Structure 1
Amino acid sequence: MTSPQSAPHDLPWSQAEWLNPPQDVATDGTDLLVTARSGSDFWRTTSYGFVRDDGHALLTGLPPGSAVEVGFRADFAELYDQAGALVRVDASTWIKAGLEMSDGHPQLGAVVTRGTSDWSLAPVPDWAGREVTVRVSRSGDAVTVRARREQEPWRMVRLAWLDPAAEARAGLFCCSPERGGLTVRFTRLATGPADTSLH
């Protein structure tokens, strides 16, 4: 997989808006430290039978032909600790992608929700404690999700359908479904043009 060809530009944290403000937000230099509320999550129905829409997300516009990148450090410890990028149209139409603790290791994955949620994961134990970037790119009827550890090559995570006419926002997210006290260090929020090709 080649790297996306478009160069994003950093967006000040203040130029994005919170969906479900977290328990605490602080800055450390240029980084944003976000502490999730206990029990926070994004999920709709499938297998578990519940709906959660109280995860924390700092969002900006994602019009067709644009992309958003989110950088963070993967310092997770407990089951279902998670962070990454969220694309959101409304409470029943969204995509979250990034890292999540499951089976004792960080997992790279995505949840695509159109009425009900699905979930896919792949273990990335060597990403623990490292800087991770998740990129969501919107073009035509698709959102392409890629991720990488530090400056390594991009890895394809998901290709998901999204209505070309939908008004969507995107940005960073974090959740802590099983505990309180998760603090995620976000290092970057960037926007730019969509990737020029899938491969």
Structure 2
Amino acid sequence: MRSRLVTAAVAVAVLLSAGCSSEDPMPAPDPAPTSSGAVGDAMPGPSSSPATEGPAADGARWPDGVTARLVAVERVPNSWGVDVPPSMAIVRMTLDVVNGSDMLLPVVPQSKEATLLYGPNRQECEPVTGYAYKDPAERKRMALDIDGGTQIPAGGMAQFVESELVPVDQLGSLTVVVEVPSVDGIRDPFTLTGVETLLKTVK
């Protein structure tokens, strides 16, 4: 008789235990917080910044209204430079800088406003030395470097001429980095791509 009572008690305990587990489930864990805030909140987009690279045909432009454009890219005769080997070519660049800002831009004398690079890795070209010409007409036609003055007034324009040596077999891949003066601090350089499309041969 006692064994039956024990068996019945054990059966009741098992049933009660099963009933409790089905009636009182464990609460689900709270969702982990996210760094983006509430669901549906849009993340802020990237801030816009001025372009620092573009096609040579379009020229360069800065937020203060200053612009620069390559008005000529020429392969000139090697005889215009001093001791230029046949494996190298002289590339002369003429750069017009327009001061569209409302402030005068100072220009450092003999500064370099255009730097020529070649190849896919954009290697810097070698400098070239030109001759000094007494005749004004010769100097204008054959000069390899011309400073554009010591300042560019507001609304004014200055022209700069720079020449550098490029390996002849790299004339099909040219880039120019333009660096023009700024009133406050250093102006970000602008890279002009596809300069080879502007290249002309002068004889």
Q: With the length of structure 1 as denominator, give the TM-score of the two structures.
A: 0.29
| Structure with the greater alpha carbon radius of gyration | 2
Q: With the length of structure 2 as denominator, give the TM-score of the two structures.
A: 0.28
Considering fraction of residues, name the structure with more strand: 1
Higher relative contact order (CA 8 A, sep 6+): 1
Considering fraction of residues, name the structure with more helix: 2
